[in-house]
Amino acid sequence: MTFMFTANSRRIMASMAVSIAVFMSWVGTVRGETSVQTVKGEPAPAREDAPSVYELKKATYTGIYTTPVTLSKGVYEGPPFVPGAATRPRVELIDSQPLSGDLSEDGSRQAVVFLKEDSGGSATDIYMAIVVRKEGAVVNLATVRIGDRIIVRSGRIEKGRIVLEVLQHGAKDAACCPSELATRIWSLERDGLVEQVVRKRTGSLNLATLIGAEWVLGGSTMDPASSQLPEITLVFEKDRVRGSAGCNRYLGYARGTKVPGEITVKASKSLNQECAETVMLREGTYLDALRHSTRFGFYFGDLIIHWQDEEGRSGILRFAPRSKPSNK
């Protein structure tokens, strides 16, 4: 049998095709399906930004316990493992600036955050989580444990991968005191965050680790720095130290030991200018703490110096890095 198409029949079929297309579009809308169409010459719809710190502090995270945990102001505390016991599950969002970048390489942006799990034992497990915003909702895509008491010195997103510079345990390190510097890399796969097989060891914790940045006092248990007060800075140059104590410049030296992270600092003012009483009091307190330094480490990019004086008083000095030392 042979079919003959006239001009009129072609017009009827074209009209039917348009009607079917309109109907299918309506059906898709009724079912909740959406499709994105762009007109030639118009920009594509903008991708959603990475979640904010506020959103991350109240997000739900999976992969830490068998059930998800939802933070409240950056912390989750569950019921005791055993009724009446003191130990209970606890997860805290680590106070650091989240990494942000395109891990899926599709133009969207994800937040990379770190959490610590401490259930009352000696271990403090560190987790890394990927969080995105999908259609207005904050979603935890993947979570992975990166180790016990591992310290992230810095991190970046590079070519769709997460690159971390970490301080971790070497073969002979005590559980309390990691000393091995290493570079570790993860990629986001269908199965979650997958670490690359090769881990690059970059050295051991020593005074040379501190060279190359000007450290700016950002807070301590002794006296939190105030934005209204002059900056306090610290620069390491081989075995010497220098900086500003707020009013006066100071000079001195630093010594390490065979134990990674141990430090001794001797420093004194190079000038003896007079400033406001508050500034002078803060300067004296800082220099006294610095002269009683015992050990140093890192906390997500910041330098932490522990101090303890002859009377048993102790605390920390916390510095944020500034990439290029000043010549003051």
Report the chain (328 residues): mean pLDDT per 10 consecutive residues: 42 43 37 37 58 94 96 94 84 88 82 91 90 90 93 89 91 83 92 82 87 82 60 93 96 91 92 91 95 91 92 93 58
Check residue 319 and give its pLDDT.
93
* 198 plus 302 within the same structural domain: no
Look up the domain containing 129 and give its range: 53-204
Same domain, 111 and 180: yes
pLDDT at residue number 198: 63
- What element of type H or E holds 144? strand 137-148
- For residues 318 and 222, give the distance between their C-alpha atoms in angstroms, rounded to a whole number: 10
Do 83 and 172 fall into the same domain? yes
Cα–Cα distance measured from residue 187 to residue 157, given in angstroms and rounded to the nearest whole number: 10
Are residues 77 and 186 part of one domain? yes
**Measuring CA to CA, how many Å separate 65 from each of 58, 145, 156, 157?**
17, 11, 27, 27
Quick one: 215 and 196 in the same domain? Answer: no
Query: How would you classify residue 305: left for phi > 0, otherwise alpha for psi between -120 and 50, otherwise beta?
Result: beta
What's the pLDDT score for residue 219? 52
Task: Choose the final residue of a domain: 139, 174, 204.
Answer: 204
The pLDDT of residue 71 is 97
Compute the distance between CA of residue 87 and CA of residue 326 in angstroms, rounded to an integer: 48
Same domain flag for 221 and 197: no
User: Has residue 275 been placed in a domain?
Assistant: yes
Q: Which helix (H) or strand (E) holds 5?
A: none
Tell me the C-alpha distance between 212 and 210, whole Å.
Answer: 7
Backbone phi, psi, residue 296, to 5°: -135, 160
Domains contained in the chain, number: 2
